């Protein structure tokens, strides 16, 4: 147990189907408690963040991936280190999102296997994260984050409208994203 129950609150494991091998975060439970949306990293690499003080040459500690790219284990090029979060490029130069938003439905047997939302929400080369759904279940709000190495270049809020179990293409919210 991670923590003990308090004042009518109980914490239970979601089950083997919903919990994967990668980090899952930003869960959002639907108003009827029958669907859960969450974000999860796509890659199979372990992300290692090294908290190193600045060296005499002024370079900072490294951020890298311990298995598949970037600076392995924090030894190397200081502030030039890149983080590899599992972006997969195909022969045409396309790839996958760094993280995706998933949906799982609950039945009498528990939570089902999550499925990634389609490209209307999960865009290539972005972290698609921090999802929430309007109380009427018709609108999803989420972030698309653009990262260059270990530097966040852009994080914007998008909104998608849902109908018949699918979500329309996300539109950037105007007036709240610094524009």
Q: Residue 64 has what pLDDT?
A: 36
From first to last of its 179 residues, the chain has per-residue pLDDT tens of: 455 667 777 777 888 888 887 888 899 999 888 999 999 988 765 555 555 544 455 444 433 333 333 333 334 444 433 444 444 444 444 566 689 999 999 999 999 999 999 999 999 889 999 999 998 889 999 999 988 877 889 999 999 999 877 999 999 998 888 76
Q: Residue 46 has what pLDDT?
A: 54
Task: Please tell me the pTM assigned to this model.
Answer: 0.70
Q: Residue 177 has what pLDDT?
A: 82
Q: Residue 74 has what pLDDT?
A: 39
CB 85 within 8 A of CB 98: yes
Q: How far out from the chain centre does Cα 119 lie? A: 14
Distance CA 69, CA 29 (A): 35
Q: Residue 16 has what pLDDT?
A: 84
């Amino acid at each position: 147990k991670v923590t003990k129950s308090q004042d009518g609150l109980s914490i239970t494991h979601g089950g083997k189907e919903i919990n994967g091998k990668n980090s899952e975060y930003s869960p959002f439970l639907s108003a009827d408690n029958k669907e859960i949306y969450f974000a999860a990293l796509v890659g199979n690499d372990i992300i290692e963040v090294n908290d190193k003080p600045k060296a005499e040459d002024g370079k900072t500690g490294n951020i890298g991936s311990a298995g598949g790219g970037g600076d392995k284990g924090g030894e190397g090029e200081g502030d030039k280190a890149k983080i590899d979060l599992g972006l997969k490029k195909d022969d045409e130069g396309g790839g996958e999102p760094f993280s995706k938003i998933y949906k799982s439905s609950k039945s009498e047997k528990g939570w089902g296997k999550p499925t990634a939302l389609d490209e209307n929400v999960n865009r290539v080369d972005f972290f698609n994260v921090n999802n929430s759904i309007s109380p009427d279940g018709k609108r999803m709000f989420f972030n698309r984050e653009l990262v260059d190495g270990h530097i966040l270049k852009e994080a914007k809020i998008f909104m998608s409208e849902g109908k018949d179990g699918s979500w329309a293409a996300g539109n950037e919210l105007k007036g709240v994203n610094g524009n």
